[in-house]
Amino acid sequence: MPTNDTGAAGNGSGLPLRVAHLTAVHPRDDARIFTKECCALRRAGYEVHLVAPGGADTVRDGVHIHAVTASSTRVRRMTRTALAVYQAAREIDADIYHFHDPELIPIALMLRRGSKLVVYDSHEHLPQQILTKPWIASPLRRPLAFVADLGERAASRFMSAVVTAEPYVRRRFTGTAVTTVTVGNYPMLEEFPVRGTPFTERERAVCYAGALTELRGVHRMVRAIDRTDATLYLAGRFQSSTLEYEVSCDSGWRRVRYLGHVTRAALADMLARVRAGLVVLDPIPNYVEANPTKMFEYMSAGIPVIASDFPVWREIISRYECGVCVDPTSVDAIADAIQTMLDDPEAAERMGQNGRRAVECFYNWEEERRILLTLYAELAGGAAALGGVRTAIAG
């Protein structure tokens, strides 16, 4: 069985294993799915395909991207788009399928019945997510979360492996899934380099990058910036046009520079201009135990973090002295932290340097990439054992 030094393997035919990543929800340029996982597998020697909504079929960075029609409603996404993903997956005829949405669990089970190797990538704690979904009626949330918990864990028994982005999510599948690994969503060191501009020469500005929602504190950030002499950069999409209108009517909006959805390169440029990054999420279960991706991206870029005072987050920030924790429900506390960072640029720069060192040592994609490739090397042995499927096609 041919392999290379990264663990990629053939399937017994002399050809590289064919891998297909599947999503009906995430964009084709999703940082975790495409930039990290698909590209890592491609560089390791796998033939990699990605099925995702929107755009057109193309090849990017050696990854074959297959477009399916995006749906405007959740019901259509879970039916029409999911069916299109399944049809594309069947046409690709991969050795290993790696799917990223709970909506695709029925499809994954069908692929598994066809003797395919199937990996479920659980990005978040699904039952906890359901408990805070505004589009689900409050009386239905707990029953639906209970059913989702049972269904997701039952389905995991039939998967070849379950990958989680968080250790606390992995615990849900321990004892049910055959194989579970955590592949953290940590930054790639080269993606957010420290640009070296002294903080004393930077704008009196802070930033937030990510989904713009009530639960992620967008209203409080805008109100807090109005109590400072700073600028707030916002990069991301609003959850709804209604929320965008409401936030834009706040008096603090005059101090906001709204960038909308930005490329990864534009995000790096923004982080190089500001003096701190905000991640002041609400104290809900799905956030309290999580490791927020944006916090580590701020640290990677060498800027200090102003973060919610959750035990997991506080432990990291205190250990590495890379920011401050605040009560995320207090506009005054957020404003005070922003003003302190601006008024003491030397201390802010020192905290930013501490955060960068922590990312270089512990919280970076390189180690997570090795975990992913090790899992695939183990699965590759099983795929090869299925016996020369690609040989018959190639012949």
pLDDT of amino acid 394: 31
Are both 27 and 71 inside the same structural domain?
yes
Stated pTM of the model: 0.87
Q: Count structural domains, the chain.
A: 2
Are both 128 and 70 inside the same structural domain?
yes
User: Which structural domain, as residue segments, surrounds residue 253?
Assistant: 199-361
Is there a domain that residue 193 lies in? no
By DSSP bridging, strand 63-68 and strand 231-235 are: unpaired
Is there a domain that residue 320 lies in? yes
Name the average pLDDT for the chain: 91
- The CATH number linked to 346 is 3.40.50.2000
Confidence tier at 383 by pLDDT (50, 70, 90): low
Is there a domain that residue 370 lies in? yes
What tens digit of pLDDT does each residue of 175-214 get? 899 899 999 999 999 999 888 889 999 999 999 999 999 9
Are both 349 and 390 inside the same structural domain?
no
Are both 149 and 250 inside the same structural domain?
no
Q: Is the pLDDT of residue 105 over 90?
A: yes
Are both 153 and 260 inside the same structural domain?
no
Q: Which of 64-68, 144-148, 334-338 has the lowest mean pLDDT?
A: 144-148
What tens digit of pLDDT does each residue of 9-44 get? 555 555 689 999 999 999 999 999 999 999 999 999
Are both 50 and 141 inside the same structural domain?
yes
Is there a domain that residue 223 lies in? yes
Is there a domain that residue 378 lies in? yes
Are both 80 and 136 inside the same structural domain?
yes
CA-CA-CA-CA torsion for 186, 189, 193, 198, nearest 10 degrees?
A: 70
What tens digit of pLDDT does each residue of 298-349 get? 999 999 999 999 999 999 999 999 999 999 999 999 999 999 999 999 999 9
Average pLDDT, integer, range 157-171? 94
Is there a domain that residue 179 lies in? yes
Are both 120 and 218 inside the same structural domain?
no
Is there a domain that residue 10 lies in? no
pLDDT > 70: percent of the chain: 93
Integer Cα distance of 190 and 288 in angstroms: 28
Q: Is the pLDDT of residue 255 over 60?
A: yes
Are both 275 and 286 inside the same structural domain?
yes
Are both 207 and 299 inside the same structural domain?
yes
Are both 172 and 224 inside the same structural domain?
no
Is there a domain that residue 160 lies in? yes
Are both 259 and 124 inside the same structural domain?
no
pLDDT of amino acid 73: 79
pLDDT of amino acid 310: 97
